[in-house]
Copies of this chain bind each other. A is one copy, B any other.
Amino acid sequence: MIVVLKPKTRPDAIETFVSQLEAKGFKIHLSRGEETTILGLIGDTSRLREESFLTNDAVERVMRVTSPYKLAGRAFHPDNTVIRAGNAVLGKEQGNAPLTVIAGPCSVESEEQIIAVALAVKAAGAKILRGGAWKPRTSPYSFQGLGSEGITLLLAAKKASGLPVITELLSINQIDLFADIDIIQIGARNMQNYDLLKEVGLSGKPVLLKRGLSSTVKELLMSVEYILAAGNPRVILCERGIRTFDPYTRNTLDLSVIPWLQKETHLPIVVDPSHACGMSWMVPPLTKAAVAAGADGIMVEVHNNPAAALCDGEQSLTPAAFAELMRQLAGYAKLEGRTL
C-alpha cells in the first residue's frame, strides 16, 4: 500500500502517522521528495481499505500495490485450478483442455420435463445438467420454483442420464437437501450474500459463483475469497451479463472478463449467454463468441417447450436448436484447442 501525503505536511504530523501505522504492525518505507512525501506500507494490507486512510487530513491519495485477493489471485497460485464433478471437468490442465457445456431448463417443472431435457442435452454433448428448484424472482407473485420437490426430480434426471447436476442455493436452510447435488450455484443476486458464501465455503462441494449484475470483477474475486478462505478451493466463476444503461438486451454480456480473469485468477470461467441477453435467438452467436474469447465452459438454457415454460421461456433453446449449436461449437472448440 502506498500512501501519498499532502504537500507541506508538517514533519511532526508525518512522524505521528508513521508511529500509528507501525503500531498496527506495518513496516514503513518513507520516501521524502521535494514536494511530496510517500509512505510504503509493508505487511499484510489485505485487511485495509484504501478509503479509511482519508480520515487523516495529511493523506492526499492511497494506492494498493498488491492485490487484495491472495487466494483467488494467480500471484501465489500460478497453476490453473481444475474442478471435477462426476465425469465433467472444468479448467485447463496439462494435456486436457475441455470445453464443458452445462445445459438444462431454467426451472425444474416435472419429472417428464427434466428427464426429457437431460437425455436430449446429453445426446447433444452437454456434460452437466442444470435446473432450478428455488427461483429468485423479482415479483413475489411469479412462479418461485418447485422447491425441495425440484431437487428430487433433478436427482431423478441425474440418475436417468448419468449427468452431474447443478442447481441454485438460495438459503443456508436448504443446504442439507444438496447432499447429492454435484455443483452448487450461487446466483448473481447473492454474489455478496456473505452468509451464503461462508456456508458453501464449508460445504466442500464445487461452487459456481455468478458475477453480480452490478459487481466489478474485483468484487467478484473478493466474494470468491470468502469461499476460498472458508476452506473450499473448488470455485467456478460465471459471467452472466451486467447492468448498463441500454435495455435492448436484458443485461450486457461482458466477454472481456474472460481474458482478464484468466490473467488474474487460476479458477475456471463459464459464460451464461441465456440470462445475459434474455432472447433465445441471440444465444448462438454469443455462445460462439464466448468460446472464441477463451471460456472454459458455457451454461445454456434448454427447454423442451419454451412457449409453455413457467420461467424465462423466451431465452431457452429447443433441444433441436441446442443440438445444432453444439454442432457449430465443435469447430470453434477445435480452433481453441478445446475438447467439446
Q: List residues of chain A with CB under 8 Å of any chain B CB.
A: 2, 4, 29, 31, 33-36, 38, 40, 42, 46-47, 49, 51-52, 54-56, 60-61, 63, 65, 68, 136-143, 170-173, 189-190, 192-195, 213-214, 216-219, 222-223, 225-226, 229-230, 242-250, 252-256, 258-260, 263, 276-282, 285-286, 288-294, 306-307, 309, 312-314, 328, 331-332, 335
Contact = CB atoms under 8 A, between A and B. Distances in A.
A194 B170 contact: yes
Nearest to A201: B140
Given A36-B40, A214-B213, A289-B292, A249 B256 contact: yes
A190 to B, nearest CB: 7
Contacts of A278: 51
B171 A47 contact: no
Number of copies of this protein chain within its complex: 4
Contacts of A282: 256, 259-260
Contacts of A254: 244, 246, 252-253
A336 to B, nearest CB: 8
Contact of A242 (B42, B52, B213, B244): B244
6 contacts: A4-B63, A170-B195, A189-B193, A244-B244, A255-B255, A285-B292
A195 B135 CA distance: 11
Interface pairs A-B: 4 shortest CB-CB: A214-B214, A31-B31, A292-B292, A47-B141
A140 B72 CA distance: 12
